[in-house]
Amino acid sequence: MTIEHLVAELDAVGAVPLAWRKALLAVPRHLFLPSQIWVDDEHGNPQPLSRDDNPDRWLAAAYRNVPILTQFDDGKTVWPDTTGEVCTSSASKPELMLRMLTALDVRDGHHVLEIGTGTGYHAALLAARLGAPNVTTMEIDPVLADLAQAALHSAGLPVTAVTGDGIPGCPDRAPYERVISTAAVRVGELPYSWVAQTRPGGVIVTPMRTDFGGSVPLVRFSVNEDGTATGRPVGRVGFMAVRSHRTPEWTIDHIDPNDPRAEVSTSTLKPWRVAENHDVRWAIGTRVPRCVWEHQPPTGDRRQHLLWLLDPGDGSWAVARYDDGPGSRRIRQYGPRRLWDEVEAAFRAWTAAGKPPLDRSRITISANTQAVT
């Protein structure tokens, strides 16, 4: 298998923009993959694959339009273990990667900052298109950074590779015409450093997420003369979060849904409505930060469903009980926040606006505020 096979597969779905064909053909993807990887099977379960044990299958995987998983749990889960909880680094699906590069809309002479080097393949494509001196890439994981830098030099594409947190950007190499992040940032927390280091008229492309879940939009921002940036979703993607923007680990196992300390109220809103699709989860997530949810079905001794809301940071929680019957639902809330009240208000505001889909969002960033409308 060769890069030509991958390009042919991408051509079959119309995924190779003319502007990126030459760069795509010039960069061998397999040079940027570790010898030990995981590849999802037909059921979406990661399976270990070794170049040493099965070189033909390994090479074939490198040149398919699929993501290659390269790290779980920040390296704590060691290959070939398949019990890892979270994939924390990968070579993105090429079709998705090309969508991001198309949204970035680079031109000759542009200087690009990439946040999240990963394997280095994305930076290599940028370097093949723009020249290595015009590409700066940052990776927070030192093990991944070293491997990526070695691969980039081996491929003859010695971009400026910085090992460190990408949240502050790289002011020493600024200003940039383009900034691209290969990891999702939390809505309301896009680093203003990225805006400040981008020339007016420049573009920032990044996935964005909320703790409430749902789709992750790819957002394209334009940087304005007044130092603000305005963005709109240009598609829906699946990306891991920037490390400092991950949802903290949480559980409701320690919470008693009948806790007598909780404030009791009722609501006429059917609780499942607040999480029933991606658009409503995005609408609520953008209005109610730092809130997660979980559904518990009925059990043998409990005939009602439970919908839980939790702030993993301050411990606030709410639980709504419901079944198929008519009437209002009982709500219990505890902690500094009244999470059900916040979520219900966000849902009703979204409904009053005509239930706009995620794709109609407009995100505005300034030095002091960030807003979604």
Our count of domains for the chain comes to 2
**Are 237 and 274 found together in one domain?**
no
**Residues 62, 177: one domain?**
yes
Supply φ then ψ for residue 167, to 5 degrees: -60, -45
Q: Are residues 230 and 336 in the same domain?
A: no
- Asked if 226 and 298 sit in the same domain, the reply is no
Which one of 244, 271, 301 terminates a domain?
244
Active site residue 328: no
- pLDDT at site 300: 83
State the pairing for strand pair 198-209/185-186.
parallel
Tell whether 233 and 345 lie within a shared domain: no
Spatial separation of the C-alpha atoms in residues 225 and 201, rounded to whole Å: 7
Q: Is residue 231 part of a domain?
A: yes
**Is residue 328 located within the same domain as residue 229?**
no
Q: Which of 244, 275, 300 is the last residue of a domain?
A: 244
pTM for the model stands at 0.95
Does one domain contain both 232 and 329?
no
Residue 109 in any domain: the answer is yes
Which pLDDT score is estimated for 238?
84
- Do 321 and 206 sit in the same domain of this protein? no
Residues 138/72, Cβ–Cβ less than 8 Å: no
pLDDT at 301: 85
Residue 327 is part of which domain span? 263-352
What is the structure's pLDDT at 179? Answer: 98
Q: Which two tokens stand for residue 271?
A: 């609780």
pLDDT value for 68: 97
Q: In what order do the strands lie in the sheet with 305-310?
A: 263-267, 329-334, 317-322, 305-310, 292-296
Tell me whether residue 368 is in a domain: no
Q: Which of 89, 90, 92, 215 is catalytic?
A: 92
Domain check: are 235 and 105 in the same one? yes
Q: Do residues 219 and 318 both lie within one domain?
A: no
**Contact call for residues 17 and 125 (beta carbons, < 8 A):** no
Beta strands in the chain (DSSP E): 36-40, 46-50, 68-72, 87-91, 112-115, 135-139, 160-163, 176-181, 185-186, 198-209, 216-223, 229-237, 263-267, 292-296, 305-310, 317-322, 329-334, 363-365, 370-372
pLDDT at 94: 96
**CATH code of the domain in which 109 resides:** 3.40.50.150
> Looking at the structure, do residues 143 and 237 belong to the same domain, yes or no?
yes
Last residue of a domain, one of 212, 244, 276: 244
Q: Looking at the structure, do residues 285 and 236 belong to the same domain, yes or no?
A: no
Mean pLDDT, each 10-residue run in order, the chain (373 residues)? 92 95 97 97 95 96 96 96 95 96 97 98 98 98 97 97 98 98 97 98 98 94 98 93 94 95 96 96 97 94 94 97 90 98 98 96 98 96
Give the tokens for residue 90: 């990968």
Question: Is there a cis peptide before residue 142, judged by omega within 30 degrees of 0?
Answer: no
Tell me, yes or no, whether 365 lies in a domain: no
